[in-house]
Amino acid sequence: MAPLTANFRQYLLGWGEAERGEGALDYFRSGLAAPQFNGVVRIHSLDEVGQAVATARTRLAGVPWWWWVGPDSPEGTPAILAEHGMVAFVAVPLMVRPLDQPVEAEEAPAGLRIERVEEPGRLAELVRTYSASMGVASSLEADMVRIEAQRPDNADVVRLAAVLDERVVGTTVVITTHGIAGIFLVHVAETHRRRGIGGALTAAALHVGRKRGMNLAALAASPAGEPLYQRFGFVKVSEYRLFTLPA
């Protein structure tokens, strides 16, 4: 479990630029006005939880943020956060799949291709596609592109775009580290959903992980995506619970 959660932390901390941890607290602050991109990943010990919550409130003041409680969090973290006024609002399944299993092809639209994103123009299209799918304000797009381009772990990152009629209609980002192919940001443009594009992106992400010599693929599934990942052989092994401060 430790390599899996380390991979996940690496993805989230990559949004935080220089602010990536203090004392017993792992946190990240992108400065973006969207809670997905600011938050606490882990507290190391419950002995200093009061100070850690105070630190999080200070360091993340002025931006919306979430506290991720996962299998790398000390037992009892949810109860302690509740005592400090935080509220749980969703549980996200953490799913894994061995990469030595064959990948079954799924039907996809004719002419669809999955390509690696490397040039700046395509990166902007990638961000535009997944941010629109996530409901993130378009005004944040330029800053999101800048942060994506400057991630400190870019050698571990493979960005994939589903391209149809020369337009990016789907995205995913794969982080290959700690023996894990972490699959993030699987999104399909609203006008192109339920056509097999998500399956094509998932298959491509699995191939990337296998080619890079990883042992497992892992992802945090949305409710809509969980049935798709089950078809690909992913199984739930744990979950992340997200906490927020009430308005």
pLDDT at 225: 87
Residue 104 — pLDDT band, cuts 50, 70, 90? confident
Domain boundaries, the chain: 2-92, 98-238
pLDDT at 19: 47
pLDDT at 32: 96
More confidently predicted of 170 and 76: 170
pLDDT at 50: 77
Residue 17 — pLDDT band, cuts 50, 70, 90? low
Residue 241 — pLDDT band, cuts 50, 70, 90? very high
pLDDT > 70 fraction of the chain, expressed in percent and rounded: 97
3-class DSSP state for residue 2? Answer: helix
Gap between the terminal Cα atoms of the chain: 34
The count of C-alpha atoms lying within 13 angstroms of the C-alpha of 234, restricted to the half-sphere facing its C-beta, is 26
Tokens coding 112: 């669809």
Integer Cα distance of 238 and 213 in angstroms: 24
What CATH number belongs to 98-238? 3.40.630.30
pLDDT at 20: 47
241 bridge partner residues:
69, 91
Mean per-residue pLDDT over the chain, rounded: 92
pLDDT > 90 fraction of the chain, expressed in percent and rounded: 75
pLDDT in tens, 130-169: 999 999 999 999 999 999 999 888 899 999 999 999 999 9
Residues 6+ apart with CB under 8 A from 144: 32, 37, 127, 131, 136
How far are the Cα atoms of 117, 138, 145, 173 from residue 123, in angstroms, in the given order?
6, 15, 7, 11
pLDDT in tens, 25-73: 899 999 999 999 999 998 888 777 778 888 889 999 999 999 999 999 9
2 bridge partner residues:
none
Q: Is the pTM of this model over 0.85?
A: yes
Residues 6+ apart with CB under 8 A from 208: 158, 160, 174, 176, 181
pLDDT at 18: 42
